[in-house]
Amino acid sequence: MLDPAEKDKKGMPDMARLVFVFGPDKKQKLSILHPATTGRNFEEILGVVISLQLTAEKRVAIPGDWKVGDSVMVLPNHPEEEAKKPFPKGFFTKELPFGKKYLGYTLHL
């Protein structure tokens, strides 16, 4: 892929870096286009791949600042008693300041 905004000494467009990530269902889940002047963050890309694998296998959501080993959010359409079954490492909820249960979490699967 060529980056029309970045040109070499001869005025030709520089190469851009393009990353595609496909899910287990063989559908494209992510594409990132980095201009020639911007490096790639492989930890971020690896985090996306792990996130896609986890979310395809279990009904969870991954926070934006998530790292391997952190807890993940259980999708809110799981009743609490049902949510405890598929997560053997435990299930816990965070409460709002006035005591209402807010989000369910489980440890990294």
86 and 105 assigned to the same domain: yes
DSSP 8-state secondary structure symbol assigned to residue 59: S
pLDDT recorded at residue 109 = 59
Q: How many CB atoms neighbour CB 103 within 10 A?
A: 15
Which of 37, 57, 77 lies at the terminal end of a domain, its last residue? 57
1 and 12 assigned to the same domain: yes
53 and 66 assigned to the same domain: no
74 and 95 assigned to the same domain: yes
Residues of the chain with pLDDT under 50: none
* Pairing verdict, β 101-106 and 72-74: antiparallel
> Structural domain tally of the chain?
2
pLDDT recorded at residue 101 = 79
What's the whole-model pTM score? 0.69
